[in-house]
Amino acid sequence: MTVEPRIGDVFGEMLRDAYAVATGVGPRPLAGGRLPRPVIEIIERDDGLINGAPAAHYLDPPADWQPYDHRAVDRVRGATLDVGVGAGRIALLLQERGVPVTGLDTSTGALAVCRRRGVRDLVHGTVDAHVADSRRYDTFLLLGNSVGLLEGRERAPALLAALAALARPGAQVIAQGTDPYGTRDPVHTGYHERNRRRGRFGGQLRLRLRYRELGTEWFDYLVCSPDELAELVRGSGWRLTDVDDRDAPYYLATLRLAG
């Protein structure tokens, strides 16, 4: 008998264990009850492709970041919402710099790790739900490839509208993405082709995350080119004003509130 994974807070459990490994705070995951077990994020794609990557980088200090992360935080100004705050690596540096930063995440476990690491202002939930609160922001960060949260043509307008509703005049979004189309790997080019035939963006991934016995539901995650991002932003109330692709295929997109 095969059993589907139990739906749970995959990201939260994984970050809790990664934090325990990094700091010794909390029970460390052990293999055979003795040997430290590496904490690996497992990503399943709907064509059967499975990828694993160490989760430790979510806790990385600024010295270990990619150059584009530094350029992103250098562009921050005013009250800032870190969307998908994860383990709080970006929020912690902003706090240190005296920036009023709020970390938002759908994972209660991720927020617990943020709290333990000293992130002071945290919100549990989605951007859409946060609109009902009275908080408003000058900068929105979607880092760690979180352009992905736009999902595709169906979800993007609602997310961009929610960000606009949370925005102060002159607000900006700084979003990090990856252009997926430089690859020649047939596993990926075939997947992109299949997506396009179904009316989706080539890099509109259908994924679920796994950690130990837990899994997420299947969800869409958008890995798109800057041109595709421009298409999504058109008519949204935001303008794509800058694409910094100095570290291509990774890029930082800046959106500004139109008008």
Ligand X SMILES: C[S@@+](CC[C@H](N)C(=O)[O-])C[C@H]1O[C@@H](n2cnc3c(N)ncnc32)[C@H](O)[C@@H]1O
Number of residues in contact with ligand X under rule CB under 6 A = 18
Q: Is 106 in the site for ligand X (CB under 6 A)?
A: yes
Q: Is 102 in the site for ligand X (CB under 6 A)?
A: no
Q: How far apart are CA 23 and CA 27, in angstroms?
A: 10
Alpha helices in the chain (DSSP H): 10-23, 67-74, 89-96, 108-117, 127-130, 156-165, 186-197, 226-233
Give the DSSP letter of residue 1. Answer: -
User: Which region among 24-32, 86-94, 191-199, 206-214 touches ligand X (by CB under 6 A)?
Assistant: 86-94
* 28 φ/ψ angles, rounded to the nearest 5 degrees: -85, 140
| CB contact at 8 A, 198 and 90 | no
Within residues 188-217, the interface with ligand X by CB under 6 A covers none
Q: Is 179 in the site for ligand X (CB under 6 A)?
A: no
* 256 φ/ψ angles, rounded to the nearest 5 degrees: -125, 145
In the complex with ligand X, the residue whose CB is nearer, 120 or 189, is: 120
Q: Is 149 in the site for ligand X (CB under 6 A)?
A: yes
Q: Is 89 in the site for ligand X (CB under 6 A)?
A: yes
User: Which region among 106-114, 129-137, 192-200, 235-243 touches ligand X (by CB under 6 A)?
Assistant: 106-114
Alpha helices in 27-185 (DSSP H): 67-74, 89-96, 108-117, 127-130, 156-165
3-state DSSP assignment of residue 37: coil
Tell me the closest approach of the beta carbon of residue 160 to ligand X, in angstroms: 13
Tell me the closest approach of the beta carbon of residue 11 to ligand X, in angstroms: 4
> Among 86, 177, 202, 226, which residue sits at the site for ligand X (rule: CB under 6 A)?
86
Q: How far apart are CA 232 and CA 168, in angstroms?
A: 21
Half-sphere exposure of 73 (CA within 13 A, CB side): 21
Q: Is 144 in the site for ligand X (CB under 6 A)?
A: yes
> Among 110, 163, 175, 253, which residue sits at the site for ligand X (rule: CB under 6 A)?
110
Tell me the closest approach of the beta carbon of residue 15 to ligand X, in angstroms: 7
Tell me the closest approach of the beta carbon of residue 172 to ligand X, in angstroms: 17
| Interaction site with ligand X (CB under 6 A) | 11, 58, 83-84, 86, 89-90, 104-107, 110, 126, 143-146, 149
